[in-house]
Each structure stands twice: as C-alpha cells, then as structure tokens.
Structure 1
Amino acid sequence: MAEHVSRHPFRAERLAVRGQQLQILHWGDPAEATDAVPLTVMVHGWMDVAASYQFLVDALRAQPGWGARPLLALDWRGFGGSYLASGPAPDGDYAYVDYLADLDAVLDRVSPGRAVNLIGHSMGGNVVMLYAGARPGRIRRLVNLEGVGLPVAAPEEAPRRLAAWLDGLKAPVALKDYDSVAAVAARLRQNNPRLTPERAQWLAGHWAHEAGGRWHINADPAHKRPGPHLYRLEEVLATWRAITAPTLVVEGADTAVYQFFNGRHTRDDFLQRVAVLQNATHRVLPDAGHMLHHDQPEQLAAWLADFLG
C-alpha cells in the first residue's frame, strides 16, 4: 500500500518532566518564537498520538505566512513516544490534573515567559480549556477541536465510581495487538472511514510499534480502566469562565462523539457550556467527523491561520 509522504517531517525530542520522559514533536525551532510569532502547541486526544497532527501541519505550512512558524505537538503521558519512553503509570491511573501539570511544565521549558497558541483535540480539547482557565496569561489564542466534555456526574455516583475503579485496578487489562502495520492501518480506517488509505498507513507506523512479530498500540492499557474522578460541571464552567484568550471552538459536522454518551450528554448540552466563554467563535467543519484534523486538514488549516493571525 502506498504511504502518505509528509511534506514537513517533524523532529522528535524527549523532555524529563515530573518523573516522565515526555515526547514532543517539533516543526521549526521553539526558540525562534517571538511575541509577534508565538509558538503554537498542539495536544492530542484519548488513544491518539502527537503525530496525528502531521496532516494538519502540512496543510498549515501551505498557508500564507505559516511556512516557517514554530509548531510543537506533545504526546501525553501514557501515549505515543511518551509511553514508549516512560512505560505505564506507576499507580495505574491517569487524571486530568496530571495532564494539566505536564502541560504547564512543558510550556515552562519550551516557551518560558511567553504566551502560546494552544490547540487541543477531543480529550486534549478538554484539557486545554481547563488549562487556559487556570493559566489565562499563558495563552494567546485557544482552539478546542471536538473537546465536548463529559456527562454531568452527580455526587451520588461517587461510591459506585470508586468501587469500579478499585475493582479495575485488580483486573488485568490489555489492548488488542495486530499481525502487521497494514492491519493497524485497517483498524484506523475502521474507526474513521474518511481517513485515506495512504494517511492510515503512515499514521499506523506512529500509532503502534512492532515487537515479537506483533504490532502493539503505543498506549498504556490502563487507559481502558474506569477512573475514580467525577466530572464536576460547576467546577468546569467556573474554569471556562476564567478563560481570557480568544477561543475558537470547532466541531465536525458529522461527528458521532455524542453517541458514546447514550443520551447523557448532547450537543445542546455542549453548546450551553460554550455560551459561558467570554470571547468565543464557534464553527462547524463540513464533511468532517470527530477526527476533523484528519478529514479536512486543508480547510481546518485555513480557519486556524485566519484565527491565529
């Protein structure tokens, strides 16, 4: 199968951060960022990797004025190159507070004292919204790609959630492995039929690695376990209200993300949450699903170039 050829390959680096070896991908040199041309930082979603942004980066580089701007993507702890370097979480748990603290520490290293443009997809979109409320002075422009949040959790759910988490820690958990990189690519296209075969083949080589004659997903299987933490909407909205950066919220017109919530969280719920933002622009990307940066990278890049300035 033919494979996508990246017009602007990344350079990978690992940073020692909070007991982890976190992988960052560079397109350009972060040290060349200025107040006028800030660093743009991208973070990925659940069960994804930083290399997932390559197609969007190639499209951004084609935008006027974006041929050499410094770009960076982070592999969250437990995912991608960060997982390959650091292994599983010692306690078997991953919490949003750890992602926030990791992001804060990484930004201190790659953009000390200077605000950044911050882009997050899906789980990463939820994280960057919380981070921008907690650290408003660190963000110049904020982009939320399909970070729709989670269903409201009632306090009464806490005992059941904690029990499920405790039970999960005792149960073995594993991710499916594959006999070839082509099989990994087929899985990616099963998840998202809009992903072209060429892009799926390229991404599969970054989404998984070969060991012992099998291809294994670059993610800690512990991500499949239920977490102990409730989603407290009041706290989330209070943090969103503290965001001062101009914010672009982008949805895929054909997203299926709400199907996973079985009616407990709807698009109307999400739009009501977006309404609390001080300075937000909301756009819907045609002919795109949840993985909108894979489905329509050129159109999304045009919108980002215009919004980020």
Structure 2
Amino acid sequence: MTELTRESTLRELKTDNGVLRYHEAGDPDAPPLVMLHGSGPGVSAWRNYRGNLPLFSQHFRCLALEFPGFGVSDDTDLHPMAAAFPAVGTFLDELGLDRVNMIGNSMGGIVATRFAIAQPERIDKLVTIGGMGRNIFSPAPGEGLNLLTDFVEDPTRERLVAWLKSMVYDESLVTEELIEERLAVAKDPATLAAAKRMYGRGVLQHMAKLAEKSPEPPYWAMLHKITAKTLITWGRDDRVSPVDMMLLPMRTIPHVEVHVLPNCGHWTMIEQKAAWESTVLAFLTRED
C-alpha cells in the first residue's frame, strides 16, 4: 500500500467563498466518508485523522475537510465556527455527493450533528468523537477550554503544553515533536487571530448570551430530528468535553449507540486508536 502523506492526499476545491482544501484517500468509487476536524491551536484535518486514514481508506473514499479559518483552507469573513457549517454543504455539492457517511471530532462533531439535523437525507451513518451535547453535571466551559483560552490570550509554549496535556489521559503522548508542530502553526499571526475570535476571554460567554437571545432553538434541542444511524464515541477521561455531555444525545437521538473508551481523553481517535477504529469500522460497515 502506498504511504499516505500530507502532500499526496492534499486536494483543492475552488468555491465562490474561496478555496476549500481537503485530504482524499481510498478508492474513488468506494462509499464516501467525510471527516470533520475539531478546533484549537494548530489543529487541522490532517493532524486529527492522519493516523486513521490508512485503515478507513481501505473501505471508503475518505475526504478530510479543512475548515475555513484554521490556516489551511481560505479564511472567510465569518467566525470560523460559523463558517464551518456552510462549508460542509458547499463541499458536498461541489463534489457531487448526495449522501455520505460522516465522522466529526469535537467541534467537527457538532458541525456534523447540525448537518444531520438540517439535511438528514444526506447522511447515511454519523459518528461523533466527544464534544456533542451539553454539560449536565460538569461546569461549562470545561477545564481544557479554559486552558485553551489562557493560551490564546498569552500564547507561550508553557500554556500550549498545559492545554495539550489536558487533551489526553496519557501525557507521554505530548511529545516535543507534537509541541513544536502545534506551536509553529498556532503562533502564525493569521491562525492566532482566528483562535482569538473563537476562544478569546469572554468570547464563549458572549456567544452563550447570543444563543440565549436567538429565536432558533439550540442544536441539542433538535437531536430528535436526526434520522441517520449514529455512533457517539467518547473518552471517559475527557477534560475538554466531559463525558456527561453525552447523556442528552444518548436519550434523544432515535437510532444511537454509545461507546465510551477508558483511560482516554479528548483525542479518542489518537489515544485509543486501535479500539476506536475497530468500533467505528464495525459500525460503518455493518449491514443493518
């Protein structure tokens, strides 16, 4: 099997709102699997899913989309979180994909969930990795988000390390190579500016107040509209999105399964790679 590299899988898609970049791997005629990344300093679809592409590309046409505002796809005038949702629809339309399987990590899981609510006919099976739902017993925002805000306000190496360690159960995964890779991207002026728009001090509270005034119900109040078979995966020891957030979607999504992995933080697909991959692959390939 040919090695999958960032350069060999990177593709560009020109749209009316700029260039969307993505990574493609697998048979072009295989069922499409769209993979949506999370947020945070130096995040990208490639960094989220590069370790999972070799397995899933044996069964699917994997399409890992880079959201606008994270330093890979062209930025837009919208807040990066606001730009992510319409980018998914544009991406599918431009590639001529009517119906897909979808995996979303953290913020990407929320985007995937919102898309499954808005356009249920386009999602075959949905997989989320943490993030989706709302805090029931734990305070919000979680510890990891507070550490992320600390870094955005004062982008030092020490604060980045503190945030990275909050993402995992096994802190040995936070290697020097990972730190330097994330730091180089995170301190890029454009990327840092986008991060401040998302996680600057007071931003999350301001967004929460805006949501309270919105005439539209929050997405977590519309989970019953999801028709896709859904698998929720979570790290039991997640300090960014505590596992109690899963309780609401577990009870309200009609066709839902839940898999909680022990000794695992927020990066479930990385920290418990083998267990997560086997669970997700079995779900996606199972004939219902």
In structure 2, what is the equivalent of residue 130 of structure 1? 114
In structure 1, what is the equivalent of residue 53 of structure 2? 57
In structure 2, what is the equivalent of residue 8 of structure 1? 4
Q: Distance in 1 between matches of 2:91 and 2:182?
A: 21
> Which of 197, 202, 206 pairs up with 1:222?
197
Instruction: Confirm or deny: 8 A CA contact 2:211 2:218 kept in the other structure.
Output: no
String of CA shifts for 1:90-117, please: whole Å, max 9, x gaps. Answer: 36x3444x3221100101122x243111
- For residue 127 of structure 1, what is the amino acid of its counterpart? V
The structural deviation recorded for 1:143 is: 0.4
Instruction: Confirm or deny: 8 A CA contact 1:120 1:147 kept in the other structure.
Output: no
Q: Tell me the TM-score normalized by structure 1.
A: 0.69
Q: Distance in 2 between matches of 1:206 and 1:186?
A: 10
Q: 1:121 to 1:209 in 2, by over 3 A?
A: closer
Aligned residue pairs total 253
Instruction: Confirm or deny: 8 A CA contact 2:134 2:246 kept in the other structure.
Output: no
Who wins on radius of gyration, i.e. which is larger? Answer: 1
Instruction: Confirm or deny: 8 A CA contact 1:184 1:204 kept in the other structure.
Output: no
Q: 1:50 to 1:70 in 2, by over 3 A?
A: same
In structure 2, what is the equivalent of residue 25 of structure 1? 23
Instruction: Confirm or deny: 8 A CA contact 1:38 1:115 kept in the other structure.
Output: no
- For residue 124 of structure 1, what is the amino acid of its counterpart? G
SS at match of 1:289: coil
The structural deviation recorded for 1:134 is: 0.8
Q: Distance in 2 between matches of 1:175 and 1:27?
A: 37
- For residue 257 of structure 1, what is the amino acid of its counterpart? V
Q: 1:188 to 1:74 in 2, by over 3 A?
A: farther
SS at match of 1:80: coil
Q: Tell me the TM-score normalized by structure 2.
A: 0.74
Q: Distance in 2 between matches of 1:216 and 1:298?
A: 36
In structure 2, what is the equivalent of residue 146 of structure 1? 130
In structure 2, what is the equivalent of residue 247 of structure 1? 230
- For residue 198 of structure 2, what is the amino acid of its counterpart? H
Unaligned segments of structure 2, at least 5 residues: 137-151
Q: CA RMSD in A?
A: 3.4
Q: Distance in 2 between matches of 1:203 and 1:28?
A: 30
String of CA shifts for 1:5-52, please: whole Å, max 9, x gaps. Answer: x953241122233423222111235xx23xxx3111111112121112
Q: Distance in 2 between matches of 1:238 and 1:144?
A: 17
Q: Percent identity?
A: 23
- Which has the higher relative contact order, 1 or 2, with Cα contacts under 8 A spaced 6 or more apart? 1
The structural deviation recorded for 1:248 is: 0.2
In structure 2, what is the equivalent of residue 161 of structure 1? none
- For residue 276 of structure 1, what is the amino acid of its counterpart? T
Instruction: Confirm or deny: 8 A CA contact 2:250 2:257 kept in the other structure.
Output: no
Instruction: Confirm or deny: 8 A CA contact 1:16 1:22 kept in the other structure.
Output: yes
Unaligned segments of structure 1, at least 5 residues: 1-5, 153-172, 260-265
- For residue 55 of structure 1, what is the amino acid of its counterpart? G
The structural deviation recorded for 1:303 is: 0.8
> Which of 89, 95, 103 pairs up with 2:88?
103
Q: 1:188 to 1:272 in 2, by over 3 A?
A: closer
- For residue 270 of structure 2, what is the amino acid of its counterpart? H
> Which of 48, 65, 72 pairs up with 2:63?
72
In structure 2, what is the equivalent of residue 41 of structure 1? 34
Q: How does 1:63-212 map to 2 (within 5 A)?
A: 67=58, 69-82=60-73, 85-86=74-75, 89-90=76-77, 93-96=79-82, 98-110=83-95, 112-150=96-134, 176=155, 189-193=164-168, 194=170, 201=177, 205=181, 208-209=184-185
Instruction: Confirm or deny: 8 A CA contact 1:185 1:204 kept in the other structure.
Output: no
Q: Distance in 2 between matches of 1:244 and 1:122?
A: 20
